[in-house]
Amino acid sequence: MFTGIITDLGTVRAISRPGDTRIEITTQYEAAGIAIGASIACSGPCLTVVARGVTGNETWFAVEVSGETLSRTNIGTWKPGTRVNLERALRVGDELGGHIVTGHVDGLGRVVSAERDAQSLRVEIEAPETLMRYIAPKGSICIDGVSLTVNDVAGTRFGVNLIPHTQSVTSLGALAPGRMVNLEIDALARYVERLLPGGVRP
């Protein structure tokens, strides 16, 4: 379980494919505090730590990514140097500063526009039609692991606003038209829909 509040901006260090895809990510987290088997949200998807280490001045951890995860996320586009939004799993007693995030990506969105508005960045994203019924103005959405508030919704597109702080501490400050982003809808929206007359609608 996560909150969508990013606690570190890591960088892909190496990618190999001995079977499943293995990715090493540098981090500011202390190596001793990263447990093997721990869950870390990496730009949205919840991934399991399989190794950790310190090489020179770099602390890093490694995760393995299955074909299923590659098919549903933008991880297949990552390469050495790609910036990765990192969040450790929520602990009992932690502040819930964003919203409830599971680390299970629901689909990919495409950035349609990213325009400056004073110091903020207004971003419009096109999402799969099947997800749009869960996205509402002033509701929550998780984009590449970052908890954001939806500004507006029109057809298969929605808009968000990135304040300077979000731009500086996450990878979203570099969003540009055409980029694919991981989307996780608000988990509460799924349950609300199940409670509606007729259950889940197609």
Would you say residue 202 has pLDDT above 60?
A: no
* Domains defined along the chain, listed by start: 8-88 (2.40.30.20), 107-195 (2.40.30.20)
Write out pLDDT tens, residues 99-136: 889 999 999 999 999 999 999 999 999 999 999 999 99
The closest of 79, 83, 87, 94 to 45, measured between CA atoms, is 87
Alpha carbons 107 and 73: distance in angstroms, whole number: 7
> What tokens were used for 151?
């500004």
198: pLDDT confidence band, cut at 50, 70 and 90?
A: low
Write out pLDDT tens, residues 9-65: 999 999 998 788 999 999 999 999 999 999 999 999 999 999 999 999 999 999 999
Query: What pLDDT score does 19 carry?
Result: 83
Alpha carbons 63 and 36: distance in angstroms, whole number: 10
Q: What is the phi/psi pair of residue 195, to 5°?
A: -85, -10
Alpha carbons 184 and 68: distance in angstroms, whole number: 16
User: Considering all CA atoms of the chain, what is the largest pairwise distance in Å, rounded to the nearest integer?
Assistant: 59
